[in-house]
Amino acid sequence: MTLQSQYDIIQTIQKTQNIQGKIYMSFANLKSNRTDVSKLANAAAEMSTTKKSTNKYEDLRFWKPTVDESGNGYAVVRFLPAMEGQDLPWQRYWDHGFKGPTGKWYIEKSLTSIGQNDPVGELNSRLWNSGIEEDKETARRQKRRLHYVSNILVLNDPSNPSNNGKVFMYQYGKKIFDKIMDLMQPEFPGETPVNPFDLWSGADFQLKIRNVAGYRNYDKSEFKAPSALLEGDETALETAYNSMHEISEYADPNQYKSYDELKQKLEMVLGLSTGVGSTVKNEALSQSAQSVPLKAVGEPTIVEAPTPEIKSASDEEDTLSYFAKMAAED
């Protein structure tokens, strides 16, 4: 990265800091700066008539890499450390996204993310054990998908330069997480472990996306040599650190629907109440959560079907958004 690029990023962060300091109008200026009611009315009218550029599932806290028409993309980001009070700089969770025989979609986070039984996982286990190949294929389609979420500082986003110098949440899959682990736990003798989340001795991550057989491929992505973020500028580093987003919501049970809510949604999507789908499906969900034996008190049984990993166009993407977009198009 050039010195000019480093300077631009630092300037962006400092501008953000200055803006944050001017958000609140002092009481002394309130009277002289009252907004005219017509201005408010016009703004409200404009909001109601302007076509939304994003769907309701888009979370602007997240950064997503942009790919060209060929499906290729490039960006440089820096993974940021854990927030104060948190042990890890990432959160792991699973979700399900599939379309049922009713034409309806099931797009939900899995309760297995917080160590609880999940109705889809239980159903998939019974489908797999039915011995019916069609049921096994259904279990594969309904399998849970693994995701990680971290805070990042975008250093170079060629497709969206306005993102440079900003802190976002970034969702990624096992492929990128394995690269993080390889850096922290090198395989070969003589290699020095590096903490990529460290502000001073971490490493920038070059995200290289290729279109391979119709799927996004991240094999060429790699970490640069260790270096201080933003040349170690303490003011810029502190501002970036204070701009991080809370990611602990993915471990908060209050952010997940209850077992009964998910079971009801699943039955509706699969049409089990109307007899749509296999007999095994109907029998599976007619059993209560208590019918699944627990290993020990407080230790949930994670009953995922023993299916092999299946390549998906959304393995490294935000699958909740991905499937939600597909559902909206139906």
Q: Is the pLDDT of residue 49 over 90?
A: no
Q: Say whether pTM exceeds 0.75.
A: no
- Tell me: the pLDDT tens digits for 271-330? 986 544 445 555 555 443 333 332 333 333 333 444 333 333 444 444 444 445 545 555
Mean per-residue pLDDT over the chain, rounded:
79
Q: Is the pLDDT of residue 34 over 60?
A: no
| Three-state secondary structure string covering the chain | CCHHHHHHHHHHHHHHHHHHHCCCCCHHHHHHHCCCHHHHHHHHHHHHHCCCCCCCCCCCCECCCCCCCCCCEEEEEEECCCCCCCCCCEEEEEEEEEECCCCCEEEEECHHHHCCCCHHHHHHHHHHCCCCHHHHHHHHHCCCEEEEEEEEEEEECCCCHHHCCCEEEEEECHHHHHHHHHHHCCCCCCCCCCCCCCCCCCCCEEEEEEEECCEEECCCCEECCCCCHHHHCHHHHHHHHHCCCCCHHHHCHHHCCCHHHHHHHHHHHHCHHHCCCCHHHHHHHHCCHHHCCCCECCECCCCCCCCCCCCCCCCCCCHHHHHHHHHHHC
- Tell me: the pLDDT tens digits for 224-282? 999 999 999 999 999 999 999 999 999 999 999 999 999 999 999 999 865 444 455 55
Q: Is the pLDDT of residue 74 over 80?
A: yes
105: Cα within 13 Å, side-chain hemisphere = 17
**139-161 mean pLDDT:** 96
pLDDT at 24: 44
Residue 40 confidence class, pLDDT cut points 50, 70, 90: low
Residue 176 confidence class, pLDDT cut points 50, 70, 90: very high
Mean pLDDT is lowest, of 31-40, 66-75, 176-185, 199-208, for 31-40
Q: Is the pLDDT of residue 185 over 80?
A: yes
pLDDT at 137: 93
What share of the chain in percent tops pLDDT 70? 65
pLDDT at 103: 93
15: Cα within 13 Å, side-chain hemisphere = 10
- Tell me: the pLDDT tens digits for 156-168? 999 999 999 999 9
Q: Is the pLDDT of residue 79 over 60?
A: yes
Gap between the Cα atoms of 23 and 39, Å rounded: 19
What share of the chain in percent tops pLDDT 90? 61
pLDDT at 312: 39
Residue 53 confidence class, pLDDT cut points 50, 70, 90: very low
Q: Under a CB-based contact definition with an 8 Å cutoff, are residues 247 and 149 in contact?
A: yes
Q: Is the pLDDT of residue 143 over 90?
A: yes
